[in-house]
Amino acid sequence: MEIKKTDFLVIGSGIAGLWFAYRTSQQGKVLILTKKKDTDANTNYAQGGIAAVMDKEDDVKYHIDDTLKTGDGICHKDAVEYMVKNGPQLVEELYRIGIDFTVEEERLSLTKEGGHSHRRIVHSADRTGAAIEEGLLNVVRSNKNVEIDENSYVVDFIVNATTPYNQDIVGVLTYDREKESFFIIQAKIVFLATGGLSYIFEHTTNPPIATGDGVAMAFRAGVRLANLEFVQFHPTSLYKFLVNGRSFLISEAVRGEGGKLRTIDGYRFMPDYHPQAELATRDIVARAIFNELKKRNDEYVLLDLSDIPSEDIKKKFPLIYKTVLSFGIDITKSMIPVVPAAHYSVGGVLTDLTGKTSMTHLYAAGEVSCTGVHGANRLASNSLLEALVFSDAASKNVDIEQISLRPLPSKINFPEEIIYISDNTYIEIYIKKLRWIMWYYAGIVRDGETLKKGINEMEKLKKEIYALYPEEVFHVRLKELRNMLTVGTLILKAALAREESRGLQYRKDFMQKSDSFKKDTIIERREHEIYIH
């Protein structure tokens, strides 16, 4: 099996991975692995923006307070303070290296989103993620110390272990889709930036690549995870129409500029649920929509933009305007049919303020990680900021001059004989079933009985899949399905363990918060079992 060697191995090509590569390229050789095209990441689909205190009327204390309030009691305050204080200078640096942020009157344009007390959302019209992605790709592509391997699917970590709780990552096992062969990459430092997992839900704003591979690999290797029960459902995705297999997101900034939510018969319902109405945090708005749909037996609600001038809609939201128009809806004249969709994983691989995980030489940042910044609920547009700040922190913490390539283990944990399959018809059928299970049993509103049924359904599905496809059978989509099984089960079990309603976790059978759960849900693998504490 071919072996490649590098100083820094970056898994994923969103903002976290690209920024870490940009920073560490000054220290050594960087190899970025991405399982599809280098722009296919959740970063690329982030419409709203990146939150940072850039206005003289704003202050870091307000941003900290807004984040803590949204996080509903379990944010790591030190992580929040670190992110908010270090964010503005890094956003300024993004602008200086060429990111095409919107500028008005020679200053960065700022908008407002739900949960924010001030205008602090730096944006590039309504395609901020894409602008950041494109800008950073241009920077790293021009760097002779950085190499990007597309269509490289990371199968698993390779670790040296003295004990199950003292492990050191030495590389990864990877499958090259073009060469149709496996190879090993040895690295001094592995940086995990695989992004989100919300494609495991039937309705989602995430692309089909967001299958939770990073979380699943980390769990199998014994790395500590946290807070996977907290999945954020974006309140407003376009009803019925899909774009490249995902629900099209209608940015929260649309409500920040004056968009109103109405039932099909025209009633504006959000003032009934919260004093901030449409500018309440995402969990509140999503549950309000869910409640109205259930109460009225409707399939969608309407987002009314009539208070926003037509020219402002086209100027500030050109992507949304053009995309929705392609489906026959002119949002300057008609209301937009919207429904909630799974959007962002608050939980993930547990890290400290420098991106360190519980495994030696493994760092993580971005949506795959859990820094504690978001607590039980993410404040809008804090995600790109978190990815930027903590990937930067990780890059400052590593010193590869003190690290040598560690030897590979004598045996790699992978079947000796591989059976390759090309037909994935049944795999897609199983993926569709799994996504339905997650949406039905672990959706916006949960209860213990439903979660237990979901766990049982996942176990039955797992047995069925492994009976048809034993471990030695390989197809990239099959591996993604297995990762989805792992992550889905972890979410269900974490949600069952948290017997309260807090932030994004809403339990009908435990409606109140409990002080006994004012902490992270820590998840570990012990002796092939899931251990939650």
Residue 457: strand, helix, or coil: helix
- Helix 128-141, helix 15-24: angle, nearest 10: 30
Asked if residues 286 and 444 have their Cβ atoms less than 8 Å apart, the reply is: yes
CA distance 389 to 383: 10
CA distance 125 to 131: 9
Asked if residues 461 and 485 have their Cβ atoms less than 8 Å apart, the reply is: yes
φ/ψ (deg, to 5) at 235: -65, -30
CA distance 466 to 488: 16
Point out which residues pair with 172 in neighbouring strands.
157, 185
CA distance 511 to 296: 22
CA distance 14 to 128: 13
Asked if residues 409 and 76 have their Cβ atoms less than 8 Å apart, the reply is: no
Determine which one of 224, 246, 282, 525 is catalytic. 282
CA distance 86 to 52: 9
Q: Other CB atoms closer than 10 Å to residue 17's CB: what's the count?
A: 32
Task: Burial-class residue 311 by CB neighbours within 10 Å (0-12, 13-18, 19+).
Answer: exposed
Is residue 70 within a helix (H) or strand (E), and if so which, with residue range? helix 60-70
φ/ψ (deg, to 5) at 244: 50, 45
The residues near 425 (Cβ < 8 Å, ≥ 6 apart) are none
Asked if residues 526 and 497 have their Cβ atoms less than 8 Å apart, the reply is: no
Query: Catalytic annotation on 435?
Result: no
Which active-site residues does the annotation give? 282
